[in-house]
Amino acid sequence: MPHLCSRNLPKKPNVNMPITERPLTHLVIPDGVNLNAGDQIESFQLVSGPETLFPCFTWTLEFPFPHVYRIVLAGPERPRPPHDNANAPSTFCKFELVSFDKDTCRAMFAFPYPTGQSLDTSGLDNDTRLELRLFWKYQLFTEVWERRGRGTTETVTPVIRDLGARPYALTEHGIIRHWRLDRSRVHLGLGEKAAPIDLTGRRFIMHAADSAFYDAHKTDPLYKHTPFLISTSPPDTSGFQGSTYAIFHPTNSVATWDVGASIDYPSGGLSKQYIQDWGGLEEWVMIGNGVAGVVRTFSDVAGKPRLVGRDWLGYLASTVLLADLPNAQEELEKWPALCVQNDIPCSAMHLSSGYTHDEETGEHLVFYLNKKRYPDFKRMVRIYHQAGMKILPNVKPYLLTRHPDYKRLEDGKGLFFDPLTQKAGRQNLSNNAEDRNGDGSWADFSAPETRAWWAEGIKGLIELGVDGIWDDNNEFFTRDDEILAENHFDFGRQVSYNDGSRIKTGILGRITGTEVMNKGSHDQMEEAFPERRVFVLTRSGNPATFKYAASTWAGDNYTSWHNLRGSQHIQINSGLSLMQNTGADVGGFAGPKPTPELFVRWVQLGVTHSRFCIHSDGSGGKLNTPWMYPEMLPIIRQHIKWRYYILPFLNNLMWQSHLSAAPPNAPLFYGPFASDPVLYTPEIMRGFDAWLGVGQILVAPQLHEGERARKVYFPRTSPTDQACYFDISGQVDYRLFGSSAQERQEGTSMPVFRSGEWATIPTPLEYGGMFAREGTVIPVGRDKATLTALDGPARRYTDGVDAELDKESGGGADGQVGVDDWRGVLIFLPPPSSGLHNKVYEGEWIEDDGISADPSTYLVKIRYWAENMDGSSAVRVQAKAFMTKDGFQPLWSGRLFVFLPEGDWRGVVGAQAGLYPNQRADRAGVGAQVMGQFVVPVEYVL
C-alpha cells in the first residue's frame, strides 16, 4: 500500500533481504509543529527522521475515551490494518501535554479527565490520575503511571511499560511490540484459549483453525481470533491492587502473543511480545478498575454482546448421526416425542450438514437439499414448531469443485485467487463422503458475487421455515498469506482499502471472511423477519463477527475428563472477551462415548454455562442424548429441568451482558471480589469454580472421576465480609458426610458457609455444586419450555405454525410446551440465629417476550430484610414492577411466590401462604422449602 511521507528524507539504499526484526528508530517531531507544556491537543505525532533506516513511518497517539489511548503506527508496505473490530467515537478526547522537551525527546501527557458528557466505564475513581510518559531520543517507548492520593500521601506506581531496549521493530511484512513483564500479574482473555485461565508464561497464535478433537489444555490455536489481553495484579497485603490494563489489536492478520514464554536477557529479560505478521500497528490500551473495568471498556470499543433470544437459553439438541441417516427426516421427526416420553424439555434442534449431502456421492454441497433423506423438509420443521422447538441448519463457506454453483463463483471472481496458478485457489476440503476430502475452494466474502450467492442460499433456508443460521467450518484456513481476496465491499468498515484491487489475505486477514459471512446470514434473517431477534451461531469469529452472531461454542471437543475440566477455563476467558453466550459440546463431540459418570458431570457443568448444548459427531454410532443411560436419566432430567427453572435468572444475565457486558460466567476475582488475595492462589486459579452471575451463584462442580467430596472456598469482598453462602443443589444430607461447615439452618441438615472460609463439600453423583450468596435474588419459573405470550411471535413461528400447549396448560397436545404464567423468587438471608435484622437486600431482573428485535422490558425490583415481630424474627419483602406504557407485561404479573432457604422457618410479613398447582420448588433440585411458600403482591410503577 502506498504511504505518503510527511517530510523529505534522504533516500536509503534498497536492501534486498527479508527483515527478521529491525528496530524502528529515530522518530522526530514533524516539521512546523510547535508544542508547549499545558497545551490541550487532540493527537500527538512522530515521523521518521533523517537518521532512520525506514523512512515514511508515522506514529500517532490519541485518546478515544478518557481511560483509553490508541497508537497507530503505519508506513510503506505496512498500512494501518483493515478491520471493523473497533468502533472509534466520532469525536476523540482532548488531552493535556503536561511537559515537553523537544531537545531531550521527552513528553508527558495527562489522561483526559472524565466529565459528565464523556463516556467512561473504567470504574476508576476520581482520586486515580493517569499519565503517559513518552521517550523518543533513539528508540520510541512509552510508560503509563498512576497517581493516587494527594500531597505527602500521594503514591506513584507504574501500570504498563514498554521494554525500553526493544519496544517497536519491523518484521518482514509486519510489526513486533515488546513490554516489560511482571510475572506476578495475571493475564486473561485472548478469546478462546486453552486452560488454565491464567495465560502467563505461554505463547498463543492469533489465528482461527479447525482444531477438531483438540486438547483443552494444550492445543493452540483454536477457533477464534481475539487479540485482547488483560493484565491484572493480585492485591498486596494491604489490599491495594493497582489498575488493571488491557491491550487490544484490532487487526485480522495472523499474529502471536508471547505472554512471557520467552526471555531476552540483553534486552531486559522477562517481557511479553506481540508479533503481527502483516501490516502496520493499531493498538488500543485500556486502563480500568479490575478486570471488570477493562471488560466494560472493551465493550465500548468493540461493541456489546447481542441480546440472545430466550428460547436459545434452554436445552439445545444436536447430533451429526441423525442428520446423516438414509431416513434422517423420519428419525428427526421422532425427537419431540422422545423428549416428551423421557420428560426432557428441549428448545431447539441443530440440523447438521447431512441435509446438504449429494444423494448419490454423499458429498457436502452447501445449500443443496438431499430429498431422499428429507423428502418433505417443511413438514419436519412444522413438527418441531408445533412441539415448541426451533430448527437451526448448518451451513459452510466452501464449495467442492463439483458443486453446481462452483463455476458461477469462479467466473464471478467469488473465490480466493491463487497468484501462482492464476486461477481460483484450491485445496483439499472435507466433503463428508467416504474419502473425507475433496478438491474445492473457499468462498471469498469480500467479493460481491459471493455475498449475492450466500444471500440467495440463506433466503432459500428461510423459505423452508428455519429459525436461525448455524455458520460452521468458517475459519477460512486458506493456508497461504499470498492468496488474494477480491477486496470489494459495498458497506462501510472502520478501516478499509476498498480501491477495487485484490489484496493479500495476509494483510486483509482470513478471519474477515468469517465476519462477513456472519453478516450475510444475519442480514437476510433480519430482512425477512425485522420484528424478530436474529439468531446466528458461529464456530469461528473475531470481535466484529459478534456484531452479527449472537452465540458461539468451543468447537469440536474430545470426550475426556481432562477436556471437561479445561472447558471451564475456555468458557471464562471467552466470556471476558465478549463471547458471552457460549459453551462446550456437552458429553464431548468426538472420541469415545462418555461414561455414565462423565456424562452426568458434564451436564452438571453445562447447565451453568450461558449456552447449553448436548452434541456428538456420530462416529462409531456415537449419539449423546439425555436418555442415553436410563439409570442416569433421573439425574440428567433434574439438572435440565433446573436449567428451565432458573430461565428467568439466565435471561436476566443475558440482558446484563447486552447492556453492560457483564459476563454470565466469570472468574471468582471478578468485580467486587478482586481484592480477595485467596482468589489468586494456585489452588483457586487452577481450579474450576466460577460465578454464574457475579456475586450471585458460586458454581463449584465436581470434575474428577470417582471423587465424592471436594474443598470449596467462599469468596469475600473485603476482610470484614462475613456474608453467608447457601447450598442450593438440594441433594445432600450433610450429616452423613461430616461437613466442616460451622453453622446450620435451624431444624435442618443444611449448613451455612461464611465468606473467606474453606469447607469440605460432599459431592455424590446427584450433586451439581451451587451456592447462592446472601442477598441474592433468583427469579424462577416453570421447569419446562414455556411461552411468554399466547399469540404473536412468542408463539407463532416464521412458517406460521403455532406451538401447541400441553394439557397441563390448557391445550390439547400431549407435548412439552407450557405457559410462563408463574414466577417465584429465591431470596437468601442470614440464619435467624445471626441476629442480623433490618439489613436490607436489593435485587432486580429484566423480563421481556424473549423474541422481539426491539423488546419492551418489564423490570422487577425486590427489597427484603429480616425484622423482629413480637420477639420473633420474620421476613419482609417488597416487590415493584416498572414497565413502559403499553409495554410488555408477563403472563404471571401481579404476584410472586417467595422462597426462603431450606430450613428457614420464618414467615413473610403480609404474604399469603400458597403452593401453585403442579409447581414444586424442589422439583428441579433447588433447596427451597416446599411448605411455606409465600405469595406477595407486585406493585406496578408506570
pLDDT digits (tens, 9 = 90+) for 730-760: 665 554 444 444 454 544 456 789 999 999 9
Question: What are the CA-CA distances from residue 377 to residues 274, 380, 490, 530, 742 (Å)?
Answer: 49, 5, 34, 24, 60
pLDDT over 90 (residue 661): yes
What is the pLDDT averaged over residues 22-32? 95
Q: Are 60 and 45 in contact (CB under 8 A)?
A: yes
pLDDT over 70, % of the chain: 92
The answer, yes or no, to whether residue 1 has pLDDT greater than 70, is no
pLDDT of residue 932: 41
Grid cell 485472548 in the structure block, residue: 190
The per-residue pLDDT for 815 is 84
Select the more confidently predicted residue: 921 or 408. 408
Out of 266-270, 402-406, 681-685, 938-942, least confident range = 938-942
Average pLDDT over residues 531-541: 98
Window from 116-120, 558-562, 833-837, 931-935 with minimum mean pLDDT: 931-935
Distance of CA 386 to the CA centre of its chain: 31
Per this entry, what is the length of the chain?
A: 942
d(C-alpha 446, C-alpha 507), whole Å: 13
The dihedral through the CA atoms of 591, 592, 596, 598 has a sign that is negative
Chain centroid to CA 865:
35
Q: Is the pLDDT of residue 924 over 50?
A: no
Mean pLDDT across 47-75 = 97
pLDDT higher than 90, residue 118:
no
pLDDT at 690: 98
Least-confidence region, from 4-18, 635-649, 834-848: 4-18
> To which residue does cell 429459525 refer?
467
Q: Determine how β-strand 751-754 pairs with β-strand 743-744.
A: antiparallel
Q: How confident is the model at residue 808 (pLDDT cuts 50, 70, 90)?
A: confident
The answer to whether the beta carbons of residues 222 and 193 sit under 8 Å apart is yes
Parallel, antiparallel, or unpaired for β 417-418 and 141-148? unpaired
Q: For residues 92 and 43, what is the distance between their CA atoms, to the nearest angstrom?
A: 9
Query: CA–CA separation, 479 vs 473, rounded Å?
Result: 15
**Which range in 163-167, 325-329, 729-733, 751-755 is most confidently predicted, on average pLDDT?**
325-329
pLDDT tier at 430 (50, 70, 90 boundaries)? confident
- The pLDDT-based confidence of 11 (bands split at 50, 70, 90) is low
pLDDT the model gives residue 438: 76
**Closest C-alpha among 336, 453, 442, 324 to residue 389:** 336
* Predicted confidence (pLDDT) at residue 435 exceeds the cutoff of 90: no
Contact 578, 298 (CB under 8 A): yes
Amino acid at 475: E
CA-wise closest residue to 424 among 458, 395, 449: 449
- Under the banding of pLDDT at 50, 70 and 90, the label for residue 134 is very high
Three-class secondary structure assignment of 620-683: HHCCCCCCCCHHHHHHHHHHHHHHHHCHHHHHHHHHHHHHHCCCCEECCCCHHHCCCHHHHCHH
Q: What does the pLDDT read at residue 160? A: 97
- pTM for the model: 0.95
Residue 872 to residue 869: CA distance in whole angstroms = 5
Alpha-carbon gap, residue 540 to 545, rounded angstroms? 8
Element (DSSP H or E) covering residue 743: strand 743-744
Give the C-alpha separation, 305 to 249, whole Å. 19
Distances, alpha carbon 212 to alpha carbons 209, 349, 383, 559, in Å: 9, 21, 32, 12
Q: Is the pLDDT of residue 915 over 70?
A: no
Q: Give yes or no for residue 930 having a pLDDT over 50.
A: no
Tell whether the model's pLDDT for residue 576 goes beyond 80: yes
Q: What is the pLDDT of residue 237?
A: 82
DSSP 365: -
Cα distance from N-terminal residue to C-terminal residue, the chain:
58
Segment 213-237, tens digit of pLDDT? 999 999 999 999 999 999 999 998 8
Q: Map residue 246 onto helix, strand or coil.
A: strand
Residue 125, pLDDT score: 86
Residue 894: which pLDDT band, with cuts at 50, 70 and 90?
confident
**Per the omega criterion (within 30 degrees of 0), is the bond before 114 cis?**
no
Given a cut of 80, is residue 934 above it in pLDDT?
no
Determine how many CB atoms are found less than 10 A away from the CB of residue 879.
18
Asked which of 178-192, 264-278, 371-385, 670-684 is least confident by mean pLDDT, the reply is 264-278
911: confidence class by pLDDT, cuts 50, 70, 90? confident
- Residue 117's pLDDT is 55
Whether residue 584 has pLDDT greater than 90: yes
**Residue 933 predicted with pLDDT over 60:** no
pLDDT at 5: 60
In 3D space, the residue among 342, 369, 343, 345 whose CA is nearest the CA of residue 357 turns out to be 369
**Going by DSSP bridges, is the β-strand pair 858-869/841-847 parallel, antiparallel, or unpaired?**
antiparallel
pLDDT of res. 883: 83
The residue assigned the cell 468462498 is 443
The string of pLDDT tens digits covering residues 473-502 is: 999 999 999 999 999 999 999 998 877 789
Please name the residues in contact with 682: beta carbons below 8 A apart, sequence gap of 6 or more.
Answer: none
295 — pLDDT class (breaks 50, 70, 90): very high
All cell numbers assigned to 926 = 433447588
Please give the share of the chain, as a percent, with pLDDT higher than 90.
81
Tell me which of 353 and 3 has the higher pLDDT. 353
Q: What is the average pLDDT across 451-475?
A: 98
Q: Which residues have CB under 8 Å from 501's CB, separation 6+?
A: 487
